[in-house]
Amino acid sequence: MLDTVLNTLAVAKVIDGSQLWVETLRLLGKTPIALLITLIVSIVLLKNQRSYEQIEKICDSSLGPICAIVLVTGAGGMFGGVLRASGIGEVLASTLGHTGMPVIVAAFIISSALRVAQGSATVALTTTAALISPMVAADPSLSQMDLCFIVISIASGATVLAHVNDSGFWLVSRFLEIDTKTMLKTWTVQETLIGIVGFIIAYVGSIIF
């Protein structure tokens, strides 16, 4: 929360992001530091109820499952990284960006294609936004509501078809002990439905408003 909130305030020019106190608090909010603090606090709270030997045993027994999740999640993320480095995302986006279709539809398709190709929803979001922005700037007929619906369309496309090149897919799979086939039947279908429903709502909203 410290990292996200302070970064948002700094981007909005509410505070000076270069100040030492801001950078210090953002450092505490970084994921590794926040998790380390959580671990230390947990050990301190447990020491009143457990012996040091018991706490050590708890920590040792947790390493196996954690390492397995980190390893598989990292492998999935690396696969997505390889696809990004290959340039497939840029090729897909460039091809779909010149089809002449409505901006909101193009945004969804490009974002979906990038999501499927390289797995990262964040990369799909940012890349699609960069590619769509010239189209949006060139269309003066788009209202503020239209822009909101385009953003929702991009986010919806970046949600669909989460599969084996998505590190989050493996995180959920290993943490909940779900096999890959079942994940594809449940998680992938669920994410796809969320994305499609979101796009439909955005598209209908753009027509009505």
| pLDDT tens digit at each of 209 positions of the chain | 889 999 899 888 888 888 899 999 999 999 889 989 998 998 888 888 888 888 888 888 877 767 766 776 676 567 656 766 777 656 665 666 566 678 889 889 888 988 887 777 877 887 788 777 777 877 788 888 989 999 999 999 989 988 887 778 887 887 788 888 999 999 999 999 999 999 999 999 988 88
Q: Are residues 38 and 122 in the same domain?
A: no
Query: Would residue 121 count as lying in a domain?
Result: yes
Threshold 0.75, pTM exceeds:
no
Q: Are residues 105 and 33 in the same domain?
A: no
Query: Would residue 54 count as lying in a domain?
Result: no
Structural domain range at position 80: 64-208
Q: Are residues 2 and 76 in the same domain?
A: no
Evaluate the CA torsion angle 132, 133, 138, 143 in order and state its sign.
Answer: positive
Could you give the number of structural domains in the chain? 2
Q: Are residues 4 and 94 in the same domain?
A: no
CA dist 152 and 129 (Å) reads 11
Q: Are residues 73 and 149 in the same domain?
A: yes
Query: Helical H runs in 30-157?
Result: 31-46, 52-86, 88-96, 103-118, 121-137, 144-157
Query: Would residue 36 count as lying in a domain?
Result: yes
Query: Would residue 197 count as lying in a domain?
Result: yes
The angle at the Cα of 191, spanning 125 to 203, to the nearest 5 degrees, equals 60
Query: Would residue 55 count as lying in a domain?
Result: no
Q: Are residues 36 and 73 in the same domain?
A: no
Query: Would residue 114 count as lying in a domain?
Result: yes
Q: Are residues 174 and 90 in the same domain?
A: yes
Q: Give the distance, in angstroms, between the CA of residue 205 and the centroid of all CA atoms in the same chain.
A: 25
- Those residues whose C-beta lies under 8 Å from the C-beta of residue 17, and which sit 6 or more positions away, are 6, 7, 9, 10, 11, 23
pLDDT at position 80, please? Answer: 59
pLDDT at position 202, please? Answer: 93
Q: Are residues 34 and 68 in the same domain?
A: no
Cβ atoms of 156 and 196 closer than 8 Å: yes
Query: Would residue 20 count as lying in a domain?
Result: yes
Q: Are residues 70 and 171 in the same domain?
A: yes
Q: Are residues 81 and 172 in the same domain?
A: yes
Query: Would residue 158 count as lying in a domain?
Result: yes
